[in-house]
Structure 1
Amino acid sequence: KLELHIVPVSLTLLIPWCCKSGPVDLVFIIDSSRSVRPHEFETMRKFMIDILDTLDIGADATRVGVIQYSSQVLNEFSLKTHFKTEAMVKGINEIIPLAQGTMTGLAIKYTMNVAFTPEAGDRPKVPNVAVIVTDGRPQDRVAEVAAEAREKGIEIYAVGVARADMTSLRAMASPPFEDHVFLVESFDLIHQFGLQFQDKLCVIDYCSFGNHSCDHQCVSILNGYHCKCNLGYHLHDDGKKCQHMDLCNSVEHGCDFQCVSTPGSFYCICPEGQLLQDNGKSCGTCKSANIDLVFLIDGSKSVRPQNFELVKKFVNQVVDSLDVSAQGTRVGLVQYSSRVRTEFPLNMYHTAEDIKAAVMKVDYMEKGTMTGLALKHMLENSFSEAEGARPAARNIPRIGLVFTDGRSQDDITEWAKLTKEAGLTMYAVGVGKAVEDELSEIASDPVEKYFYYTTDFSAINTIAENLKLNVCPAESQGEIEVKDPCACESLVEFQQATMSSMEQLTQKHILPNKNPNDKNIPR
């Protein structure tokens, strides 16, 4: 319900003159025929800019378009092009005069049929005002087309300079002519019209008097004002108070699970066990911490081609649980057999989709199982800044995940130790004939939290699901309080506190299948 508050005329005589323009859709129609000298055209530029400086410019206030004409019509910018004064001034200063004939009727027709259309930014129920500035007689007929424009609701001001014909000006302008027709002796006096025109667009800003009592917004009109509420509220029957709306039932909120309304706004929540993603609307099982993660996958001949495809799907299943981006989690992939090959470094791909596509294109190497050589390559190359690892000073966790299906053909002890001494968090995933003693050497402490084993390749998808618990930040699990970084002495201490929380949250994920190669590792 919209209630208008009318202010008595007698009161307006006792209060200061407070001016506010619009909203208006205003189009300048500028004569740039050859008879307009360069310095005169510069005066027209200044005329338009001076008027702009007095208007309340904006998408919801006054919109302005500019057209120049001579023998043709050229749209410089439309009503929907600019919503800031600075951009309009720049557009006006870039106008290059056409310097041809004077087809004023053609310009009015263009204004009516093109400039004042919804496609060009014209708004319904907003006054249409056209200001024509010309220095001569039209070379075409103007009376009929101007009458048609006025019938369509366009208010026309005609400004003639020097040689302009008064009869033609009156044929163009809206009545009463004393308010809409201006003839000045020279371009230097054009500012006189500017001053009068400003008054024509100016209304008393009744809202500025401070006694409107509107809860949210006050909108001035010709003889008074009305109140308007912010998004999420509706106007009370008294025309002033604003009442909270249930936005969840009023707008397209986009929440995956549930929308909760608040005064003037809303927010999304997720079901228990899921987390709200960065877009504030989607729900997911995990939002990973920012990490540098390198997969080290066994491509030896014992894996076999069909199982190698399962390994690649395992990698992509883990990638699906990560927030991959250049600033978030980075992922690299290394394959090893008798030799080591970087399939892609940490800095090559920055979206999960690109990484997953690259993983599926990896060719199976076959041959031997040089796990020690692979660990050496990962430590010396994969986590270097040259391959995309963030500087150690930034304290972004560096995580290595080693996947193997058999005993290494070289010694792993030295490099397994060095990786952990270098600050890497190491996960060891074994399948089939993988030796658990070797896996325990590779895994970070406590071993039972970073060591995974299954006898069957078809079960590694379960390991991928369990791994999500370890790469998610601790606070996302809702089970443990993460130390406030402000309470830590350094970022290193904060990282250590965070990793400690992660360890507390992780349960034993080693599957119940026993490996006959070793029975000493706890499951």
Structure 2
Amino acid sequence: MRTMVACFRCLAAVVLLTSKASAQLGDQCKLKADVVFIVDSSRSIWPPHFEIEKQFLANITTQLNVGPDATHVGVISFSKGARVELYLNNMTDDVAALQEKILNIAFMSGGRTETYLALSMAREELFSPANGARDDVPHIIIIITDGDSSDRKMTKKQADIVRDKGIQVFVVGIGHYLDPEQLMEIATESSETYVHTVDSFTSLESAMPNLIPAACRVSATTTSPPEKITTPQKETPGPDATDEPMISDETKKVCNSKKADVVFVLDKSSSITSGPFRTQLNFVSDVMTIFNIEKDHTHVSVVTFDYGPKIEFGLTTYYSKSKVRKAILDIEYTAGSTNTFLALELVAKHVLTPEGGAREGVARVVIVVTDGQSSDPGKTKAWADTLKKGGAYVFSIGVGNSTDEEELVSIGSEPARDFVFKVNGYNALNTIQDILAYRACEVPSGDLFARCQQRKNPADVMFVTDFTHAGGRDVTRTTDIIKEVAGGFITPGKVRAGLVSSECPDVTDVGWNQSSTAEEFAAAVTSVGQGDLAEVLSRARQSLTVVSRGARRGVKRLAVVFVHGPISDLKAATREVQRAKSSANRPGVEFIFVGVGEGVQEKQLLQLSAERDPKAVRLLMGNVGKGEVTWQDVLTQVCEALESE
């Protein structure tokens, strides 16, 4: 309570100081411009600090000659996703009303810092004539952030595209933990004109005396208007249309040589009217032109759903962009309930199959677009999991405010930051088409998972969990991963799974005889276990290698070890790994090490592996700054290990 009171006192002081700074600056900027603020609303920011950000923005508006015939202001907030808070065409002479709108922006508190999505949204949606952008004034972006982007590569890419459109980009970085190079990659230039840093939120107002004059000078020296950006809402093109979507050269390069089977699953339920449905088809048509659609490259199918699903055309129907595009734009609109699960079932049973034309050795991509919640979320998740375990990478795109974010995440592959998107409306779909295409073209072949489930040779896979330093979320996250991974390789009578766990109030051992199917194994992951890591590894070794403990002779043996913090008995644990690997076990146990949480040490895991060459270690790290380990990451390592003989 004292801390919170102190924070709000601090907030009050900063608001007062910022107001004084505004008064001292006076009216310095009398020029016309379109200015978009991009405001960090990620989990690293406390709500009181977000209030400081908003107050900072509100005070800046007094310096920008705001009005219908002067400067227009737009605002985007971002964290895990991006959201338009204020469009450029919502401008009046009432500065107080504008400030009130800014101060009423809700805190997102997302777990990511997806700066690239905000940049893309600003370029495609806010700086669009349809939403108030003007051709004869400078276009300016001012980003305020306290953290490094979750995807530096994509952020740099989107910043490059923004700058190429003639938009001037200023960055205000807050705190001591920012990477200055990342800020300079985003800004128009790596100079004090465009990059401003402050030590803390409480000193944010100190950026204003330099930032506002710099933005005004840029406006004054920008004599030619920025490159005109066409509105994303266009008429439905005919079959011979040649207009291309605004896609970066890097994405085109990545996608041009891609071999993939791509399936779009499109919502045409009663919640979407005919106009937005046509916009959805335009979006799909544009994305498809990015791929090299030929018989020996990318194949495309479209499935639609309402009451029931329908294969509009299959993977082997068309082998040219023009024919695919015409077929997409010719899809008829209907209306009904949102039976998403039936569409996913249809894709799993009849599209991504050999009979449906799915090929071996190519990536499998499913892109689901919906504007509402499914009629049966449980079945929808189950069929999405079936597709993912069968080797498909699933993207889920939620349109509008009626979608369930949790359901979108359950449909999409992991990590969600790469496979789950949400936009405000169908007209905003074009803001993600470049990122979506790039992500889709990056996915690897999914055949490995299918081969993993079809494995003919027997194998025993033992999960080992050290929860000594784990929090409740770590336990839940890890057990969920284990259940998903086991479902991707367990084959009754051939490949089986077990579990041994260290002391934890939620998890106990699962022996070989407790399950023969993935469902039985998942149900058995409960109750209480005990022991330090060395003791847990000893139990795992015995289960894998001692016949009297249930081990099978001559089968491949694999241990997947999850560690959540520092290993206190490292020497003893390493000896257990060495004993398990010993050739005396015929064959020795192979290991995969997974580090999860802030306290885990990669150096310790490398030592635990008992390998002299670090490159020979199968190791996944989920440290801060490296992202969370996903079940797909772990399953990939397991399947690769099972494939190797």
Using the size of structure 2 for normalisation, the TM-score is: 0.29
Q: Which has the larger radius of gyration?
A: 1
Structure with more helix by fraction? 2
Structure with more strand by fraction? 1
